[in-house]
Structure 1
Amino acid sequence: MNKAAIITVFLMLLAGVPAVAQTSSPNMTVVSVGDGDTLRVRNQQGQPVTIRLACVDAPKLKQNPWGQQSRTRLGQLLPVGQSVQVRSIESDKYKRLVAEVFVNNRSVNLTMVQEGQAVVYRQYLKGYTNTKEQFLQAEANAKQQKLGFWN
């Protein structure tokens, strides 16, 4: 294992999230939503963890009105107190956990793309070999249907 991989595993363990990318961690609870692709949760130990939604990019809050609409929608999908499962991918340079978030076995990341509230972040599709095409197709459909900021 190289140094970067060891550091990533260590950071994930500190966050209380399993280091194996294919493993979900149950019983994390939403604390807040920052914008359309960032949220805070509490892990099973009660520690706060900042999560950056993997594979997607949402408009910034300053990009009116799309940034606020994206944040609002993520807040509707992930209200405070919502229990979520997290499939960790890696930690980013800001020490956030980059992950796919699930509610009732449904990917919130994918939902945001399907609804035109986020786009696929193509250079970060790693970790998505099984669902890459699903994300790209969801974006194409949202664009074609002029959903969210595509309108």
Structure 2
Amino acid sequence: MLATVVGVADGNTILVKDNTGQTITIRLACINSPEVTDQHYRLVATQRLKQLLPPQTPVVIRSTEQLKSGRTVGEVFVDNRSVNLLLVESGNAVVDRESLQNCSESKTQFLIAEANAKNKRLGLWQQSKVQLKFHAK
């Protein structure tokens, strides 16, 4: 699906307008970003997503599932780069192993990106033990 970014709700949820002009909420597939209780990392993850996806950015969304809430879950691409993967690479998100099969084409890349971010202590990996709470779907 081709869409245009309207805004960023949090570290793993964006709002887009599709080609019919309808606003759709997209939850980024196969990743998790920190929840409200981890205020600092949540804000950093949200800011990073806002840098990657400013309003009016054209994106391609590969939808992986439709939630009962009506939200779409998908992998978001800008200039053929997965924004989901970029967030993991920068340590602003972790791989959600429960839904990773939905990103089968890039599964290995996600796991390698997380391992690299962890080894380099990027983003939320700066803590000695990462015990963050994450958004439920």
Deviation of residue 61 (structure 1)?
3.5
Q: Partner amino acid for 1:125? A: L
What are the superposed Cα offsets for residues 2-41 of structure 1, whole Å, 9 maximum, x if unpaired? xxxxxxxxxxxxxxxxxxxxxxx22x11111011100000
With structure 1 as the length reference, what TM-score do the two structures score?
0.81
In the alignment, which residue of structure 1 is the partner of 2:64? 89
Q: Partner amino acid for 1:138? A: A
Moved more, 117-126 or 57-66: 57-66
CA distance in 2, matches of 1:114, 1:149: 11
Q: Partner amino acid for 1:129? A: S
Q: 1:82 to 1:61 in 2, by over 3 A?
A: farther
Deviation of residue 74 (structure 1)?
0.3
In the alignment, which residue of structure 2 is the partner of 1:123? 98
Q: Partner amino acid for 1:103? A: V
What are the superposed Cα offsets for residues 47-102 of structure 1, whole Å, 9 maximum, x if unpaired? 00000000000012341200000000000000011110110111123221000000
In the alignment, which residue of structure 2 is the partner of 1:149? 124
Runs of 4+ in structure 1 over 4 Å off? none
Matches within 5 A, 1:1-150: 25-26=1-2, 28-150=3-125
Q: Partner amino acid for 2:69? A: Y
Q: Partner amino acid for 1:127? A: N
CA distance in 2, matches of 1:76, 1:38: 14
Moved more, 39-48 or 58-67: 58-67
Q: Partner amino acid for 1:32? A: G
Structure 1: segments with no counterpart, 5+ residues: 1-24
Aligned with 1:122: secondary structure? coil
Structure 2: segments with no counterpart, 5+ residues: 127-137
In the alignment, which residue of structure 2 is the partner of 1:9? none
Preserved CA contact (<8 Å) 2:29 2:103: no
Give the aligned CA root-mean-square deviation in angstroms: 0.9
CA distance in 1, matches of 2:118, 2:25: 29
Percent identity over the alignment is 48
